[in-house]
Structure 1
Amino acid sequence: MRQRIEAIRSDPNYDIRQFIDTVAADIRDLERFHNISISPTRRARFEEYYKSSLSSLQDFPFQHLNQDGKIDYLLIQNFLERGLRQLGLTAEKDEKTEPLLGFAPGIVGLCEDRQNMKKMDGKKGAQDVFEIEKLIAETRIKILAEEITVDKTSAYRAARTVDELRARLEEWYGFFSGYDPLFSWWVKDPYAKVKKQLEELPAVIRKTLVGIDPEDNDAIVGDPVGREGLLAELEAEMIPYTPEELLEIGESEYVWCEAEMKKASRELGYGDEWRDALEYVKNLYVEPGSQPDLIRFLAHEATEYVEKHDLVTVPRIAKENWCMLMMAPERQKVNPFFLGGTNIIVSYPTDTMEHEDKMMSMRGNNIHFSRSTVFHEMIPGHHLQFHMMVRYKPHRNMFTTPFWIEGWSLYWEMILWDKKFPKTPENRIGMLFWRMHRCARITFSLKFHLGQISPQECIDLLVDKVGHERATAEGEVRRSFAGDYSPLYQAGYMLGALQLYSLRKELVESGKMKEKEFHDRVLQANMMPIELLRAFLKDQHLSTEFKPSWRFYDGR
């Protein structure tokens, strides 16, 4: 890294993107090699790397970089600082699981010795595995005797860690077994016993300490990050609001949506009983086998609209090259609605599903719900977005943020609403359902991570306040807390859209920028926190001490 800095000093035009590419490659290599999440060695190595990279970054001549270069500097600085903070928060969580993982250091030590290519002594390896098996057995006895007290979240996290350790130990055994005769002679029997213990322990933890039936594959638990965790994430996303303030924004937007729902409901003859109007719209679905035709029509409709009104550049390749796939029934448990991006993946019942599940899927993917989903996922939403991301500043793809990714697609739901794209009350109810859903996502995800509500209460909230089918609500909550999404991901839809909406007011409605230029520049800037995007588009003065301060929401 220091050699690269010398190159910077001798060449003032050195591109900071090379530094970013190096960090991205280094992180991939470190994650591949240090592949045990709870390893103290892993944590120490990442901490060292983040700190040394931040030190190297300070050698860049920030004041001589152009605006794009300064944005890149701030993005990688934020990325590295976020990584450091996350190490500390993760360490605190891991510490709470230690009463259940007294045997873990032994497994970690064996696996890391293999990674470092230390010579294996079969006899010693057998004794190490034997001691590990004894510790696991003791832990199991203590769990069943209720002698270990941990909170449910930490217990669930520990069970996942045991699964991870079992996989790593299996790699360790597979590396030597059969290739080293003495190793196999010594280790085969103790390894078979420890493997069995590691396979059984997660179920014991989940049943006894978490309260989950081991046979229940649909249980939703999640891993709340707490208020401090949310504040750390908000800092990284450059959102100068507290979780409590964001909850107020979600409620304010919900109130607006409900008022608009009532207007549409009155037009359909249901008065203020908008849930009755919603039930009517849910039953406006196409017959089995016809959903692909509907999706193709809706995709072309939205693309033609944005092109006709000159709202955003749609490259021919983006318009022509997308495919449609059908979602498997098992996957629909987690993704009850469409997915999109390069392709659109259609959620619709198959002949293997039970009757009740078929009806809930058809109602949940009705004509008017699907209308918003299609342009959210395709053009001008994610498909166009992903097309541009690999063509403009692709080095920024590592700075992933739901506020830019998901905010962009939901922002288009707001813009097309303002432009009266929905022509009928049924159309409007379809669009409003999704906006209410995104308001509710702020509420249920933040309250869950604050420890205020359970996953079941999140499901009830989606059913009661938004009008979800219970099966689709369960799928949404399961997807939110499965561990694949950051704590702010679900809130990022609405909040990111509101940020872009506010930025559009500043730049387009003020006459400083044409609408198409605004949208094209947002896409061509690629991923970043929206406040940093605002600074870039407005050509604001930047320094290495940049801190978020933009209060983007002015209420309803």
Structure 2
Amino acid sequence: MRKFLLSFFLFIVISQSVKSQNSEASLLSPFITQYQADENMFNRKYALKRSDEYFKRMETFYTDWLSKLKLLSFDKLTTNERVDYLLLKRDINVDIRALKQNETEFANTKFTVPFDNILIDFEQKRRVGTQQNGKETAQKFQQLIETINKTDKAFENGSLKINPVQANWAQQTVNQHITVFTEAYKFYDGYDPQFTKETKKVYPEVLEALKNYSKTLGKSAKLSIAKDDGSGIIGNPIGRASFLDLLNDEMIAYTPEQIEAIAMKEFAWCDAEMLKASQQMGFGNDWKKALEKVKTAYPELGKQPELVYELANEAINFVEANKLITVPQLAKEGWRMRMLSPQEQQFAPFFLGGESVLIAYPTQDMTEDAKMMTLRG
């Protein structure tokens, strides 16, 4: 237990020290800030993410940013700035790939929303504040209802065939239309008398049709959701190619098979070390008994904070004595401790670390089972 705690504190000390050393000003900082701000702005402005307009605008945005990065002289950048450059470029390329994947899904399911042209036209005019004729808009809304209901019926009777994954995507698209359409309508409702008078009755009918269609799609979409295999982790397989992309994004130069082989090798090492520890503790090869012994080894009541403070300083002394890393004085002085509440201990039953070390220990009002769970870590 003590070795585990010490290892944890070593990780915290090194992490905080690296953060401190990498805090120097970077030429890329304004670029990173601007990129994030601009991207967020576009995502707010173009609330409907399932439209040709959005995909075209964001593709231009990402392409322009890659061109902007090319204007920087990489050779003249400091080491930290080069890291920022490569990470920003990586993030942009990741965003481009995600955009293309979404655009492909959009193209493959566009037939499920044959009525979206009316909704998109209505939202685009709202965006620039164009006054919309009430009678004409009411007629379009009526046409919209008919097309939605027709599509809904076609899906119900099987003449419109889509698989569960497409249904899931289509439902998300319809729900997005509901949100955007509602906001766009409220922009005019009550502020333009002629618009309000002519559309007041038909507007809720449009919403009802959209919501009914979303529910219909949802029945099939449920089948696309992966079921719990007992691990408690629910998700859909992404496939080897996408997994390789994710590994590449994280700059992990290994294939899934290589990672699995490394994991099995390290797992075997862990098994061997566990047996060594079990033997040293006098339990022979019965590592389960040794583990149970460790689980019941904990400080006396009220002594946990003192142990945490002691181990933190031991970790600092260890890395400095072995000249592993330089720990800035402010990093030594700035870290602090606080106790985790009983509620927090339900999902963090040991302790968490960073600039603040959050300590888990039983409180008087916890149940006996909860107390023992915290003590066992």
With structure 2 as the length reference, what TM-score do the two structures score? Answer: 0.70
- How is 1:51-450 mapped onto 2 (pairs within 5 angstroms)? 51-211=63-223, 222-264=235-277, 296=305, 299-309=308-318, 310=320, 312-313=327-328, 315=331, 318-320=334-336, 324-325=340-341, 327=343, 365-369=373-377
Residue deviations 1:200-232 (CA, integer Å, cap 9, x gap): 44444333342499xxxxx97535433332233
RMSD over aligned Cα, in angstroms? 4.4
- Give, as a single letter, the amino acid of the residue that structure 2 aligns with 1:251: M
Query: Once the 2 structures are TM-superposed, how far is the Cα of residue 47 of structure 1 from its aligned partner?
Result: 0.9
Q: Is the 8 A contact 1:78 1:236 kept in 2?
A: yes
Residue deviations 1:240-261 (CA, integer Å, cap 9, x gap): 2223332333333333334444
Change (3 A) 1:164 1:337: farther
Distance 1:41 1:108 in 2: 9
Distance 1:270 1:199 in 2: 64
What residue in structure 1 maps to residue 30 of structure 2? Answer: 18
What residue in structure 2 maps to residue 379 of structure 1? Answer: none
Distance 2:49 2:376 in 1: 44
Distance 2:359 2:116 in 1: 42
Distance 2:362 2:174 in 1: 36
Q: How many percent of aligned residue pairs carry the same amino acid?
A: 27
- Give, as a single letter, the amino acid of the residue that structure 2 aligns with 1:367: L
Query: Once the 2 structures are TM-superposed, how far is the Cα of residue 233 of structure 1 from its aligned partner?
Result: 2.5
Query: Once the 2 structures are TM-superposed, how far is the Cα of residue 262 of structure 1 from its aligned partner?
Result: 4.4
Q: Is the 8 A contact 2:145 2:205 kept in 1?
A: yes
Residue deviations 1:57-77 (CA, integer Å, cap 9, x gap): 222233333333333332322
Change (3 A) 1:182 1:121: same
What residue in structure 2 maps to residue 36 of structure 1? Answer: 48
- How is 1:508-547 mapped onto 2 (pairs within 5 angstroms)? none
Change (3 A) 1:245 1:299: same
- Give, as a single letter, the amino acid of the residue that structure 1 aligns with 2:375: I
Distance 1:282 1:144 in 2: 57
Query: Once the 2 structures are TM-superposed, how far is the Cα of residue 185 of structure 1 from its aligned partner?
Result: 2.0
Q: Is the 8 A contact 2:244 2:256 kept in 1?
A: yes
How many residues of Structure 1 are paired with residues of Structure 2 in the alignment?
340
- Give, as a single letter, the amino acid of the residue that structure 2 aligns with 1:71: V
Which ranges in structure 1 are unaligned for 5 or more consecutive residues?
A: 1-13, 214-218, 370-556
Q: Is the 8 A contact 2:165 2:221 kept in 1?
A: no
With structure 1 as the length reference, what TM-score do the two structures score? Answer: 0.50
- Give, as a single letter, the amino acid of the residue that structure 2 aligns with 1:51: T
Change (3 A) 1:341 1:304: closer
Query: Once the 2 structures are TM-superposed, how far is the Cα of residue 117 of structure 1 from its aligned partner?
Result: 2.9
What residue in structure 2 maps to residue 503 of structure 1? Answer: none
Distance 2:283 2:216 in 1: 52
Residue deviations 1:516-553 (CA, integer Å, cap 9, x gap): xxxxxxxxxxxxxxxxxxxxxxxxxxxxxxxxxxxxxx
Secondary structure at the aligned position of 1:136 is classed as helix
Q: Is the 8 A contact 1:122 1:186 kept in 2?
A: yes
Secondary structure at the aligned position of 1:315 is classed as helix
Distance 1:152 1:224 in 2: 14
Q: Is the 8 A contact 2:337 2:358 kept in 1?
A: no
What residue in structure 1 maps to residue 6 of structure 2? Answer: none
Residue deviations 1:294-332 (CA, integer Å, cap 9, x gap): 875665354233233236446266413767455479x96
Change (3 A) 1:54 1:268: same
Query: Once the 2 structures are TM-superposed, how far is the Cα of residue 108 of structure 1 from its aligned partner?
Result: 3.7
What residue in structure 2 maps to residue 45 of structure 1? Answer: 57
- Give, as a single letter, the amino acid of the residue that structure 2 aligns with 1:303: A
Distance 1:285 1:299 in 2: 12
Distance 2:350 2:155 in 1: 40
Distance 2:315 2:331 in 1: 12
- Give, as a single letter, the amino acid of the residue that structure 1 aligns with 2:69: L
